[in-house]
Structure 1
């Protein structure tokens, strides 16, 4: 080969290399990658980016079916594929002329896990704050049929399209850093349903509910406090819309069964607003996902001494977090297809992050197993306040969802208070019946209201015989 021919050959390969570099392989959202889980027996969205106006072909190995979409001007494409009953592993081939293969795909049940630090708290715990029993559970966590992905923290004034993270198969390395509440929820679902479980964590410690709402919805509540694109974000986890933009938006539309939520601690000072904000947020998420009123199960915040966050005794009652718990209790009537895991028995006076994460995650899973998956013959709802009747100087408080009655498991029943027309509450004497309690006090001749466990920090003593605790509640609206 002479020098001229050699130069021509080198020039040819250089041109091929340049051409190949501009014909970039299609890029998928981080959600669509090796080890992912797709919602079973559904029509689910798949999306990514390719050259503008190019044709993208997706082939799914479970049915050898091909789907075609055309990329938009910005290169984004989106199409819907049909999924079978739970199983796998499968492959998905995406091609715009150059093939990209997504391997080890499972079909099963997918759940979104969102909220603030009590959802974010990993199995390994926070520094100096443990998750009880997690070390052994981490050790035993190897399970090909549980897959997890965590959207990294991101606070943005403009809606993001993607994020950097990978699906991981459950093992010690993956699970020790994943949401403890989410993991215990998913583990019980996997055990009882015997199908693959995919968990998508989207949480940020200290976040307020307003941060998880879209700019359009937030304007109605916050007005000019909603940041415009490019504005400085004063507080990354407590500024309206910024977590919706940075973390939630990239996963909206991913095929899933439902959502679990653990948040509210940051909003403890505004329970009246939370009564409106929280159902509004849930409704917006459901509208954006476009799959109807998907199941939404949430953890009621656990008792904790919030007075460490303020100094004045004058605001102690005003900032009593029991009002926020009550707002969450009332939300059950405002949010269709919802359920609340009560945590009155696991709160810690000096730590806002209860170490008993297994109870929270599994109580959320009980709601899903009973309400969403219709497993029979077990209890999943905490007994709930139903009505009260004044009989002379006594008040009879009745409960619902108590098929087998109430109990204290042999301990003293405490936490009830009673008030007359002067609106002053006094500790009450309580007589426990099978499905009700009789409350009275020698200091209240004509009672008009009753409260139970209505303190910042208190240990709940009233349960159903199934072991599920009764929520704090009040019969008044003072």
Structure 2
């Protein structure tokens, strides 16, 4: 377990994310908790309203209390005492977001080895902002739930931002700039991590294959970032109950070869997190995995699996889980690398979802158009879309090169596609009697259909044929 953050002369101990420079969620009742002398009164003094609040520690010394916060502002002090005070300084009230997932969420502004982040150096140079606060949870894989993390809050500065999640930074920068309130970002991410690793034992009961691989307490962890439940226990469990606005998520690349279970698994994870937090259906916005040629990592002799099925599974989760939104990245991938250098696009598209759907900003587009239906007229398929009030736009033209058609034989052929007002017309000389249409439904297709707000259409298919679904 990580060392709790507390002053050397203090009896009160609190998890590390309660510390100097922290952001607490504004305009709510924030939950505070920790340890103190057993069976004693714990007094909390809030600098933003100069009020005192009291609770009692139990026989084990543990205590918990919810206290009201006011409008955004600061800096304030927060003092917690059981006779010996513990004081937190430079505390802000604002918007708090949890940022989680795998490597494309974890990837820092400085990039990975041989893998840069576009424009990072100049963005880092201009990053100094005392109203943007950053906290990164240190990697920790555990077979038993822990109650603290390792990390510290920092004001945004070149030194801090360089090592901070690029996707989360670009998200937070735009949120903070528009709302003009303090924003706190808590990153809990691990490259290569599976969705299963971020789920509790109870959440995994519905998935026998994953549940069977949950290691016993003190058992062996075969994969630090992929073994079911170990990141939930080691990195997420300590955060449960932390008052926040919502979650942003960028994961799915590790589940690319088992798309058949992802919609249910991902949906179960979101619902499970919400139940544990007890803050209602908080916003949950996530990135659809970007195009990438997964044949690069496919073992010789094995069938190459189409990751478009995973993108489809992610898209389906948005339809069945309320208060969610998916940032489509069909134009922000990298066929040769699983870590696209463009991190500003995913971060800002997540921010658009939050600004439009959570903060109610009017006049902006935040959701990509989605496939609605197809109609067959002779040898032509007519495709319609939802969430496209200004219709569909092409990339520098009124045509698309990413469509395919199939007839009753279920063999897909490249097709000519062109935009006609609110529809896309699709035709192929090799398919005189089409029955199904697919758009960009490949591992590394680069999308070329957008809303007029510049948000790309996700890859999609009209069929439900299971022929090559993993």
TM-score range, shorter chain: over 0.9
Q: Which of these residues, 256, 269, 273, is aligned with residue 268 of structure 1?
A: 256
Correspondent of 1:433 among 420, 425, 429:
420
User: Do structure 1's residue 83 and structure 2's residue 69 form an aligned pair?
Assistant: yes
Identify the residue that residue 277 of structure 2 maps to in structure 1: 289
Whether 2:459 is the aligned partner of 1:472: answer yes
Measured against aligned partners, the alpha-carbon deviations of 1:381-432 in whole angstroms (never above 9, x if no partner) come to: 1111111111222111101111222222324511101111111111111121
Structure-1 residue corresponding to 2:214: 226
Matches within 5 A, 1:306-385: 306-312=294-300, 315-316=303-304, 319-385=305-371
Task: Identify the residue that residue 446 of structure 1 maps to in structure 2.
Answer: 433
Measure the CA separation in 2 of the matches of 1:338 and 1:154. 27
Distance in structure 2 (CA, Å) of the matches to 1:395 and 1:27: 65
Kindly report which structure 2 residues correspond to 1:24-35, keeping only aligned pairs within 5 A, or say none: 24-35=10-21
SS state at 1:330 partner: helix
Q: 1:196 aligns with which of 160, 182, 192?
A: 182
Q: How does 1:173-192 map to 2 (within 5 A)?
A: 173-192=159-178
Unmatched tracts of structure 1, length 5 or more: 1-20
**Superposed displacement of residue 229, structure 1:** 0.7
Give the drift of 1:142. 0.4
Equivalent residue in structure 2 for 1:407, among 393, 400, 403:
393
Find the aligned partners of 1:75 and 1:52 in 2 and give their Cα distance. Answer: 4
TM-score, normalised to structure 1, is 0.93
Match of 1:123 among 102, 109, 112: 109
Structure-1 residue corresponding to 2:468 = none
Would you say the 8 A contact 1:30–1:165 is kept in 2?
A: yes
> Which of 371, 381, 384 in structure 2 is aligned with 1:398?
384
**Alignment check: 8 A CA contact 1:33 1:102 kept:** yes
Question: Aligned-pair distance for 1:269?
Answer: 0.3
1:156 equivalent among 142, 146, 156 = 142
Alpha-carbon distance, 1:153 to partner = 0.3
**Matches of 1:23 and 1:175 in 2, distance apart?**
32
Tell me the distance in 2 between the aligned counterparts of 1:137 and 1:223: 42
Cα deviation, residue 23, structure 1: 8.1
List alignment gaps of at least 5 residues for structure 2: 1-6, 466-470
Asked whether the 8 Å contact 2:10–2:86 carries over to 1, the reply is no
User: For the Cα contact (< 8 Å) 1:426–1:443, is it kept in 2?
Assistant: yes
Alignment deviations for residues 8-60 of structure 1 (CA, whole Å, 9 cap, x no partner): xxxxxxxxxxxxx9985211111111000011100110111112222211110
Aligned position for 2:411 = 424
> How far is the alpha carbon of 1:313 from its aligned partner?
6.3
Where is the helix percentage greater, Structure 1 or Structure 2? Answer: 1
Are residue 46 (structure 1) and residue 36 (structure 2) matched?
A: no
Between the aligned partners of 1:294 and 1:420, the Cα distance in structure 2 is 44
Corresponding residue pairs, total: 456
Is the 2:11–2:37 contact (alpha carbons within 8 Å) kept by the matching residues of 1? no
8 Å contact from structure 2 (residues 211, 228) kept in 1: no
Q: What residue number does 2:203 align with?
A: 217
RMSD across aligned positions (CA) = 1.4
Secondary structure in 2 aligned to 1:187?
helix
Asked whether the 8 Å contact 1:219–1:226 carries over to 2, the reply is no
Aligned partners of 1:113 and 1:119 also within 8 Å: yes
Counterpart-to-counterpart distance in 1, 2:246 and 2:211? 30
8 A Cα contact 2:400 2:416, kept in partner: no
Runs of 4+ in structure 1 displaced over 6 angstroms? none
Asked whether the equivalents of residues 253 and 289 of structure 1 are also in contact (C-alpha less than 8 Å), the reply is yes
Q: 1: CA distance between counterparts of 2:420 and 2:143?
A: 54
CA distance in 1, matches of 2:9, 2:132: 36
Structure of higher CA gyration radius: 1
Give distance in 1, aligned partners of 2:8 and 2:165: 40
Displacement of 1:206 in angstroms is 0.2
TM-score (norm 2): 0.95
Q: Deviations over 1:336-384 (max 9, x none)?
A: 1011111101111111001110000000000000010011111111111
Mapping of 1:296-307 within 5 angstroms? 296-307=284-295
**Which of 51, 59, 64 is residue 73 of structure 1 equivalent to?**
59
